[in-house]
Copies of this chain bind each other. A is one copy, B any other.
Amino acid sequence: MKQQQLVLNERPNGLPNADTFAFKEINVENPGHEQLLLKTLYISVDPYMRGRMADGPSYIEPFQIGEPLSGGVVAQVVTSKSEQFQQGDIVTGMLNFQEYHVVEANQVRKVNTFGLRPSVALGPLGMPGLTAYFGMMHIGEPKQGETVVISGAAGAVGQVAGQLAKRAGAHVIGIVGSKEKANYITKTLGYDHAIEYKHGDVPRQLKEACPNGIDIYFENVGGEISDAVWPLLNTFARVPVCGAISSYNLEAGEYDIGIRVQTYLIKARAKMQGFLVGDYADHFKEAYEELGEAIASGELKYEETIREGFESIPDAFIGLFTGENIGKQLVKVAEQE
């Protein structure tokens, strides 16, 4: 049996486009002892993958040209040669982007979807949810009455981060790129205020929305939006740095130029800290439990933007950088059976 696989065709310079990707037909193998045959249901496309498309030192090895892209996948067990899994089980893992997988049983973990669509394991109950959790709760540490600002507030991470801050009693302001997203975060998620950066004058909008300054800035986008945040940081402010999507598509030789943060960090005695979800592996269990309960009870809400069909992965990925998604951007590859 044949299947499609998505490979890196060439390294992008600037924004990825159709030439960045190539589809390849490969065989579906048979699972051996302690192996599983999986069918891909959902694939997650994430901004951090842009970093892996470049060739250079980072926290994660670069994708290789002609080799498969990979990322978060939710799949269903077709054939199990392991006692740990049964046919029909829903599993998740970091897997190549292809329609079927033969994996060792320990390469994936079974998903408790709390009765929800299994894609939840790629969103609020997956990497983005955990990222929001550790960034907000372990670095941000929101307290009752504090002011929390989140950029990329309607994204996969932002939507969870803001609700966690609300649960802690903070006043939460989200920065978003459209009216639709503004409505989503204020009306559905319960953020106190939305700033639409495309309306311009972000410094003025921020000042008006944060008369008491900013205690936590959850950084997802970088760029000029963040430049406007620094002067408003309160004493002992915390800035979990999760992403800087505005800078991911710089062309070769371009630098991310803006306002240097040093004097603002001194004035506010503020802390700015980059982090990766993997650094908190010791705390995954408690985070899954807390997020799972909040999602199952309906307290923690979330949105997904789903494209259909394996062939739509490139468009779904490129769309991340034009801000078209609300919540987690996913590609649905096959129906659950």
Contacts and interface: CB of A to CB of B under 8 A. Distances in A.
Interface in A238-287: 241-244, 247-248, 255-276, 279
A222 B263 contact: yes
A279 B271 CA distance: 14
Contact of A266 (B226, B227, B243): B243
B273 A244 contact: no
A222 B262 contact: yes
Q: How would you classify the secondary structure of chain A's contact residues: helix, strand, loop or mixed?
A: mixed
Contacts of A244: 260, 262-263, 266
Given A256-B262, A260-B222, A260-B257, A273 B272 contact: yes
A235 interface: yes
Contact of A274 (B268, B273, B279): B268
Contacts of A58: 267
A157 B256 CA distance: 30
26 contacts: A58-B267, A59-B235, A59-B268, A223-B260, A226-B260, A241-B262, A244-B262, A247-B263, A248-B263, A255-B259, A256-B263, A257-B257, A257-B258, A257-B259, A258-B258, A261-B261, A262-B274, A266-B274, A266-B275, A267-B274, A268-B274, A269-B274, A269-B276, A271-B272, A271-B274, A272-B272
